[in-house]
Amino acid sequence: MTLADEAYERAVEVLRQNVTPLGFKASAELYDAVWARDAGVAVLGALLTGRDDLKEASRRTLEALAEAQSELGQIPNWRDATGRRNYYATDATAWWVIAVARLGSDAGEDGLSAGLLPSVQRALTWLRYQAIDASGLLHSPPAADWMDSSLQRWGKVFYVNVLYCAALQAAGVLRGSGATYAADLERVRRSLNGLFWPEEGIDEEWLSGWGKRFYEEQVDPQREHYLNFLTFEAYDTRCDVLANCLAILWDLADGAKAARILDYVASRRLAAPYPVRVLDPPAFTADRSWNPKTDLDRPAHWRNPPFGFHNAGVWPWVGGFYVAALVKAGRHGEAEAALERLAAACRVGRQGEWEFNEWLDGRTGEPLGAVRQTWSAAGYIIAYRAVADRAVSWAAG
């Protein structure tokens, strides 16, 4: 058995260990609740195993989150067995929609709970109302996505809107409802590419609300990746590696853009020591996005020094989507090499091997955070199946 094969078997076991009566909890320790964004990744990975027990756990996970859906349609960020829940997230609802659609595609629509389809429609309505202008793009408050610590982004966040685009695309296949979301999907796709990869000649009426002069200052014929986020008259130009990989996987980025993004990741060695550092370049000094003073009251494993946690730390679940993006772009040799390094990242641990840690130091590769993290295991499964199948079937447009 190769290292990659063993990592796959170990990843499946982590998913099985983290199944609860509510579905997939986020980790074997620390995060003893069902988190919607973690669950979305878990379901994508679990269904790729073909295991009936993990398919059933996926169904229970999505139903448990739907039971806690707000009156307005928002899916909770997390809920636990005691009934506690938290709603402060924008990406959680989009991940849930994506996972429900994937389960429906895998099990057949008759295999979906009768209550999930109306919940999908309510969830998409809630997401739609997070747009505050004619662009159709969602507006997020600070810390409302998976980068929710002392390093934050807000306004129009590329990652959040890529997920919204994917959710519209995914929901469109349920019960032939594509026409319902087709117009929104086309508008969001056009706005995403226009706003976050600035080019000469764009003339959208809604752009004036964000400051066209600031947009024009970002036009760069040599651009190598999508921008991170924008607030009123200000862009953050760092590379959000996950969001750029998701843009490749869900066909938002065309072939030329995909090549530039993956070349950038390679040239910056963002997949070393392991796949993959999640932000580039890291923040070295305080700026609008990172306030190091807030780290003083946080446990060490949630702080954001350079190359730590969200500030260019290595996250294995993101590494899984990076490997899948390489496969999607036809870079199979690079994907195989990255898969081996991702397997090594999942094997390394603080107390022993195969801890599937939450994250690792972006320079040293030291494993940190929670162990047996569900989305670390699911991300590896996503990567493994992409390399083995030489395709990414779950992201088919």
Q: What are phi and psi of 280, to 5 degrees?
A: -150, 135
d(CA 108, CA 345): 35
Domain ranges of the chain: 3-395
d(CA 34, CA 20): 9
d(CA 47, CA 57): 10
d(CA 76, CA 66): 8
The CATH number of domain 3-395, selected from 3.30.70.3150, 3.60.150.10, 1.50.10.10, 3.30.300.180: 1.50.10.10
In DSSP terms, 78 is beta-bridged to 35, 86
Axis-axis angle for helices 241-249, 255-267 (nearest 10): 150
pLDDT of residue 214: 76
pLDDT of residue 1: 83
pLDDT of residue 108: 66
pLDDT of residue 109: 57
pLDDT of residue 134: 86
Residues of the chain with pLDDT under 70: 107-114, 175-179, 203, 206, 208-211, 396-397
Over residues 144-178, the pLDDT tens digits come to 999 999 999 999 999 999 999 999 998 887 765 55
pLDDT of residue 67: 95
d(CA 126, CA 143): 18
